[in-house]
Structure formats: C-alpha cells, structure tokens
Structure 1
Amino acid sequence: MNMVLGSAALAGSNAIPMEAKAAPLGPEDASPELRAAVLRLQEAHDIMKQATEALDAAGARRKEWMKKHPAPSGRAYRKWERWDERVSKSLGVYDRYHEYDSARQAFNLARVAVANIEARDQRELVLKCCVAAIYEDGKQRYLRRAMEGCQVISVSATWDTARLLDPTHPRH
C-alpha cells in the first residue's frame, strides 16, 4: 500500500511515496530504546495522574474547610493563618503537593527521554506521534499543568519528519 505524505506536497516539495505495512502499529515496531522510553513515560504518567488526583482531593478538602472557616480581617488574620497552615498540614495538602511535584518532574524527564530518541523510520515516527497525542494533550488540564508549556515529543517528531523526508540529511 502506497501512502503519499501530504505535508511534503504542502511544503512545496514533491510528494514522497512511502511504503507502509498493512499491519497495525505495536511495540515491536519500535527500537528497544524507544520502547523502553515509552514504557517509562507510561509509568510516570500513571504515577503523575494519581498524584494529581490526590492533590486535587486534598485541595478540595482544604477549600471546604476554608468555606466553613473564612479568613477574618484585622489582627485575627495572623492567628487564622497559622491555624490554616496546621489544618493544611493535617489534611496532607503539602505532602500531596510534594508528591505531585516529584511525579511531574519524573513525567517531564520521561517525555524528554522519548523526545531525544530519533525515529529510525516512518513507523517509529508514527508511534512517536501517537505517544505525543496521548501524553501531550493540551486539552487535559492535568497534562497542561504538568507540561510546563512545551510539547517536546511533538517538536521532536516534527524534526524527525523533516530529517526522514530530506534525502540529503546525513542521518537519513
């Protein structure tokens, strides 16, 4: 089955036909490095998602407490602020935040690890694009908050596309 890459035609170059296997994509289509990096990313994502849910639950409990105990004005505010800090500690807000922050950092390092692996062929490129669509979905609030504004796998896949389409590239 021949596929014609439309983006190459849109970019003004001749469309480059690519041979694509009829079989669906799977982990066996990736190099061992890419496969291992994607599995680490999946694990880091699951841990981060759980940490996000725990942090959101602790934050909701704190918000409920604040509705029942609004901040006073004047001199009593400092006493209320210390009370609020003790309650936040007892609700686990700070612990959940530190867990979330560690999980977010591990998730971002795993994303960078996937991005640093160059796609060897079109099948690896498609796999990398699928990973980017799943783990860099800006519509998901928890992912948008964790990604720090940069979709590194998507950018890497774009560079890999350019490298694979350019026959004069030294690593083609």
Structure 2
Amino acid sequence: MGFTSALVVEEIDGTFWKVREPLGYAGADEHFEVPVGFRTDFASVPRPVVWLIPRYGVYTRAAILHDYLLRSDQVSTVDADGLFRRALRECEVSLLRRWMMWTAVRFGSRLRGASAAALAVWTAVAVLSILFLLIPTVVVTVFLMLFWVIELLAWPLDRSRAHDRRKQVPRPEMRS
C-alpha cells in the first residue's frame, strides 16, 4: 500500500502546478492514479498558518491525491478525507500535523457523512488546534496586513524609479 510512483510536476504559474507523469496510489482495495495534466496547488493552506504547514512538503503527494479524489468523484468525500489521512501516515507525517491537516480537510468538506465518533474526534482535535494556533495566527495576520500596507505605500515610489530607469536606457541606433 502507498504511493507507487514518484511525483513529477511542472509549474504553471506562481500558484498552480500540473502533474507531468501519473501519480499512483495503492489503497487497501483499490488503486488510484492521478492523471497527467491534473492541476494542483499542492496543500491548500491558509497564509497565516504556512509557518506551521507549508504548501508543500513530505505530504505533497497526499494533498494532490486528496484534491484529485475530491474532483474525480471516485470515492465519497469521507473516504477521500480518510485516504488523505492514511496517505499522510504513509508519508511519515507526524501524528499531530496529520490530524490537524485531516481536521482542516474535514472542516473544508463541512463534515459531510461524519459519524458521531468521527465528529467527537474532529471536535477534540479542532479545539486543541485552535488553542494552539490562535495567538501565532493573529500575530502573523496582523504583520501580513502591516507588510501589505507598507508595500502599498512603497509601490508608487518603486514605479516612479522604474520609469526613470527606462528613460536612461540608450536607444539602439541603426548604422548604414
């Protein structure tokens, strides 16, 4: 069980990538294959928490598989989320990080199809995660907003200097 091929991707732009070679995953009973050309953003992580869980890492293949399973409708959302958690374990993602990631994807799927036991586990992990992440997330968010304001204020200055530099470039001359 686990991934049966290496991940080969090509950058599309600053956010998205496409799969260049099929990415195979052998589950307990089924084999899944992310096809060539599948578009992904790797792990969809809110910007204020990328300090803890970056968009890519040892869990990248699991994130791509999860995205593919959700878009392909080959399995239910609950099963896609469960396969995601299993793939995270097989990629040797730490226990706490994989449960936090699973909690986030279950929240993203609005807990559809959750049993009472799964809902209880989800609630416990979610509460502990929120308590752990609250202060650093607020601090990071405030400083991201502050940086955005500073960039906004500096933008006109940068644009005017770029315009001045263009004036200094000599024009090419055609010699006969």
TM over 0.5: no
More strand by share: 2
Structure number with greater CO (CA < 8 Å, separation at least 6) is 1
Please, what TM-score do these two structures have when normalized by structure 1?
Answer: 0.31
Larger radius of gyration: 1
